[in-house]
Structures are given as C-alpha cells and as structure tokens.
Structure 1
Amino acid sequence: MIGIGGAIKGFGEFGAIVASATRKIAESEAIMATLGSVMNFALGPIGLAIAAISTLGIAFAVAYQKSETFRNFINGIGASIGTAFSKVKQAVSGIFALFKGDQSKGKSLLSSLMPPEMVKVIVDSVNKIKSAFYNMTAPLTSAYGKVKTVITGIFALFSGTPKKAHQFYQVS
C-alpha cells in the first residue's frame, strides 16, 4: 500500500507541474501574440521604411562627421537653399510693394533679381489686376446701395411706416 500512496503522491506532484506548465504556456501565448504583432509591424512596409530612413540618417551623420568633402557639399546645399529663399522673399516683397502702390520700391526690388523686360511684365500684370479690382468696385458699390435701399424700404413697410417706405422707393 505504501507503494500506491507514493505513486498517487507522485501523480499529484506531476499534475501540479503539468498545471503550472500549462499556465506558463498560456501566458507565453499572449506574449507571442504581442511579439508577433510587433514583428509584423517591424517587418512590414512601414517598419522597413522607418528602418531605411534611420539607416540613411545614420549613414549621412557618419559621412558628415568623417568626410570634409561631404561636409562641404552639404553646407553648400544649405547655402544655396538659403540664397534661393532670400531671393523668393525679395520677389514677393517687390510684388506686394507694387500692389500697395509703391512702384519705385517694387521695381527696385524686382530689378535686382531679373531683367528689365521681366520687371515690366510683372508691373504691367499687377497694374491690370489692380485696375480690374478697381473697376469692379463702382458697380458693386452701386448694387449694394440699391439692395440696401430695397431692404430698408421693406423693413419700413413691415414696421408700420408706409410713408417712410414710399420715400425709399421714390429716391431710387
């Protein structure tokens, strides 16, 4: 009987070990699922793009630190972009000056960037745009005045002063 008790005790301990292992396997399944998602992201198109950009960034940083030729090239690009941005800013300032009516400042800023023929084309274009807007203001102002008169007359009519409403329509 002692042999059977020892065997039963052994089976009980074995069952506890199996139960513990089963729990650990279940926990590792959740970890593996999460790890699988991370690996899918890392090895998917987005993860590979991030890795490629990071690698290029590191390569450029090392090349910039170790190669004077590369450093000079990059610094030259930066200077060129700065110069181009400055010229674009100056051109925009010149065009705004023309729109504001400061012809001499606008022409001066643009003349330092481009040939006189091009400056003349820009000045003429700005003047045409300004003229078109100016020519639109008179009809719009007239139409606004007429609409205002009609609306004021309608309000006067509904407010109980028909004589006042009649006066609005006679003036037009």
Structure 2
Amino acid sequence: MMANPIGLIIAALVGLGVAFVVAYNKSETFRNFVNKLWDAIKTGAMFVLDFFKNNWQTILVLLTGPVGIAVALVIKYWDAIKNATITAFNAVKKFVSDVWNGIKLITSVVVNAMVTDVRNQWNSLKS
C-alpha cells in the first residue's frame, strides 16, 4: 500500500510537516525566519484586502461593464432618484386630483342647473 504514488506523497507531506514542526521548535533562527515570513504574508494580505475594501465599487464596475456602471450610478444617486420619483408621483397625483375635482364641479353645476330648470318647468306647468 505504501508503494503506490499517493501513499508516498502523503508520507512525504507528513514527514515534511513533522520536520517543519521540529525545526520550528528547536531552531530560533528558523522560528524567526518563519515568523517574519508569516508577518510579511499577513501584511501583503491586509494590503490586498484594504485595496479591495476601498475600491470595490470601481472593481465591480470594471468587472460588470455597462450594467455595473448603471448600478453604481443608481447607488450613488439613489437619494436624488428617490426624491425625483416622489416629486413626479405627487405632481401626477395632484394633476389627476385637480382634474377629478374639476369634473365633479362641472358635473355638479350642470346637474344642479338641470334640476333647477326641470323644477322651474314643473312649477310653471303646475300654475
């Protein structure tokens, strides 16, 4: 079983891991090298992470093309878009309300005039 390539690779990795732990525990020079290497890796990773955190919108736009640009603009100007939409909706609502009130007023005047005319005609026929 140990003669197959996968077994040999696993054995080599385990041996390398054991050698690494022993060297880290026994050699101050190796331990300092590993610690400095790990600090450098962490510093590099934090730089990359900070870059993505600070520039994620630009990266998203570059990756998504025109749709990403549209989404970024909507996000950037959302308050203005929302306010313009509310203003337009209120203007349309007021216009429709004013038209409806005008129709009601005209209908009321016409109906009242017709009722008055019919009443006057009826009264003149009665007398």
TM-score, normalised to structure 1, is 0.35
Higher relative contact order structure (alpha carbons within 8 Å, sequence separation ≥ 6)? 1
The two structures have a TM-score, normalised by structure 2, of 0.46
